[in-house]
Amino acid sequence: MKLGLQKRLIIITTLLLGCFLGITGWVLDRSFTSSVEAGAQEQLRLVVYGLMGIAEESGDQLVFPELLPEPRLSQPESGLYAAVQNADGQVIWSSPSLLTSEIDLLAFSQKVVPGTFLFEQHGKQFDLKYSVIWEAANESLFSFRVMTDSLPFRAEIKEFRRNLTIGLVAATVLFVFGQFVAVGWGLRPIRLMENQVRELEAGTRKRLGVDFPPELQGLAANLDRFVEHEENNRTRYRVAMEDLAHSLKTPLAVVGNELQGSGSANHELMQEQLNQMQNTVRYQLSRASSAKSSLITGKVALSPIITRMVSAISKAYANKHMEVEVDIDSTLGVRVNESDLMEILGNLIENAFKYGKSRIRIEGLLLTQQNYAGDSAQVLLSIEDDGPGIKPAMREAVLTRGTRADTVTAGQGIGLSVVADLLAVYGGTLDIHSGESGGAIMSVQFPV
C-alpha cells in the first residue's frame, strides 16, 4: 500500500530536519571549539611576549628575574607553565610552576622555524612554542614554550556542547510538534474532501461543499459536475425509458384487448405474436434500465426497505392473508442503487406472495469467508415461500428470459431473469433451492 500524504510529508521533513540540525550542531561545535582554542593560543602568546620582554642577556644565555609577568608562573600546580630551551634543546630556564609538575618538556621538543608559533595539544595541555634568534645574545636560538592546562577550556566546550544539545533537542521536539500541526492543518481540506466524497458515495450528501482552498476548488467543482452529469444522465435515461415504455405498452394493451373480443380467425396466431412483442418490450426495457446503474452507490440498509416493500405488496395481496416473517439485522446493508434494489426485492417478494400459500420467511445474514485473497464478506438474503416450489429442471430456465415456471398467476415470466441480470451488474448471484415445506427459496448474494 502506498504511504499517505501526511506520512510522506512528515517523513521527508523529519529527515531534512535531522540533516539540518546535525550539520548545524557540527558547525556550531567546530566553530566554538576553534574559537576556544584560538583564545587559549592568544593567552599563551601574550605570556610568551611577556617572558621575552623580561628576558635579559647574559653572554649567549638568557636570564629571567624572579618577578614574572604572569603570577601563575610562580605558583606551583597553577596550570600555567613556561620554559626556554636553547638551540641544543637544553632547558635553560623554567617557571617555578613547572618544577612540581610531571610535564616532560623533552617529550615534545619539536623544532620550530624561528619567528613562527607552533600551537599543539599534548595530553591535557595546550602547548605554544616560539623560536627566536636573539641578536643581543650573540644571535643564539631560543625556544620559548608556554603550556597551560586544557581542562578549563575543555570544560567550557563541554558546557557549550551540553547547551547546544539541549537547545537542538528542544528545537527538534518543537519543530516535529509544529510539523504535525502544520501538516494536519495543511491537509485538512483534503481530509474534508475525502469525508465528503465518502458521504457522497454513501448517499448522505448530494454535492461537495464549497468551502475548499483555491487549490482544491477546481477539483471539487469538477467532481460536483461529474456527479450532477451522472445523475442527469440517469434521470434522462430513465424518463426516456418510461416514455418509451408508455408509448409502446399502451397501444399493445389496446390491440391485445381489441383482439380478444374480435373473434378473428387468426386470433390465436395474432395473440401469440402480440405476446411475444409484449415480452420483448418488457424484457428489453427492464434490461436497459438495469444496465444503466449508478456509478455512485451508497450502502442501503436492507431491513427498512424490505419492511416497506412487504407492507406495500401485502396490500395488493391482502386477500391471501400471508404471514410474513422478516429476520434481518438492522445494520445489514448492501451497495446497490436503491431503485435497483427495489427492483430485485420487488420481483422476489411478489413471487413469494404470488406462489406462496400462507407463509413467507425473509432472512438476511452477513457471511464472512476466508480465502487466499483474505477475508471477504457477503450479504446472503433468502426469501422462502410455502408454495409449490420450482422443480430443479426448471430452475435454470426461469432465470433466463421469457420462461415462466408456472401458470398459477398470469405473468410474462421475466421477473426472475431481470433480477438475475440486475444482480450480475453488482456482482451478486441468485440461486433457487427447495425449502423443507417444498416451497421455493430464492437466495441472493450481494458482495459487500
Partner 1 sequence: MRILIVEDEHNLSQQLVRHMTDTGLVVDAAQDGEEGLYYGREYDYDAAVIDLGLPKLNGIDLIKKLRAEGHGFPVLILTAREHWEDKVAGLEAGADDYLTKPFHMEELQARLNALIRRAAGYSSPLLTANGLSLDTGKKEVRLDSRLVELTAFEYKVLEYLMLNPNRVISKTELTDHMYDQDYDRDSNVIEVFVGRLRKKLAREDEAVLIRTVRGQGYRFTTDT
Contact positions vs partner 1 (CB under 8 A): 242, 245-246, 248-254, 256-258, 260-261, 278, 282, 285-286, 289, 308-309, 312-313, 315-316, 318-319, 321, 338-339, 342-343, 345-347, 410
- Rounded to an integer, what distance in angstroms lies between the CA atom of residue 278 and that of residue 420? 20
Contact 150, 124 (CB under 8 A): yes
* Matching residue, cell 399493445: 252
What does DSSP assign to residue 404?
-
For the CB of residue 207, give the shortest distance to partner 1 in the complex, in Å: 23
Q: Any residues with CB less than 8 A from the CB of 324 and at least 6 apart, and which?
A: 310, 314, 359, 360, 361, 362
Q: Output 247 or 368, the one with its CB closest to partner 1.
A: 247
Among candidates 41, 28, 224, 185, which has minimal Cα distance to 119? 41
For the CB of residue 249, give the shortest distance to partner 1 in the complex, in Å: 4
Which is it for the CA torsion 412, 416, 417, 418, positive or negative? positive
Q: Output 154 or 234, the one with its CB closest to partner 1.
A: 234
Q: Output 260 or 358, the one with its CB closest to partner 1.
A: 260
For the CB of residue 285, give the shortest distance to partner 1 in the complex, in Å: 7
User: Alpha helix (H) ranges present in 261-390?
Assistant: 267-291, 302-316, 338-355
For the CB of residue 319, give the shortest distance to partner 1 in the complex, in Å: 5
| Per-residue exposure over 188-221, b if at least 16 CB sit within 10 Å of its own CB, e if not | ebbebbeebbeebeeeebeebeeebeeebeeebe
Q: Output 58 or 319, the one with its CB closest to partner 1.
A: 319
Phi and psi at 400, nearest 5°, equal: -100, 155
Q: How many C-beta atoms lie closer than 10 Å to residue 117's C-beta?
A: 15
For the CB of residue 190, give the shortest distance to partner 1 in the complex, in Å: 36
Q: Output 129 or 401, the one with its CB closest to partner 1.
A: 401
For the CB of residue 349, give the shortest distance to partner 1 in the complex, in Å: 9
For the CB of residue 446, give the shortest distance to partner 1 in the complex, in Å: 17
Cα–Cα distances in angstroms (integers) from residue 204 to residues 200, 272, 300, 324, 339, in the given order: 6, 48, 11, 31, 16
For the CB of residue 273, give the shortest distance to partner 1 in the complex, in Å: 13
Q: Output 122 or 246, the one with its CB closest to partner 1.
A: 246
Q: Output 50 or 203, the one with its CB closest to partner 1.
A: 203
Q: Output 242 or 329, the one with its CB closest to partner 1.
A: 242
Contact 411, 275 (CB under 8 A): no
Which is it for the CA torsion 393, 395, 401, 405, positive or negative? positive
| Per-residue exposure over 47-65, b if at least 16 CB sit within 10 Å of its own CB, e if not | bbebbbeebeeeeebbebe
For the CB of residue 324, give the shortest distance to partner 1 in the complex, in Å: 15
The DSSP-derived string for 223-244 is HHHHHHHHHHHHHHHHHHHHHH
Q: Output 319 or 371, the one with its CB closest to partner 1.
A: 319
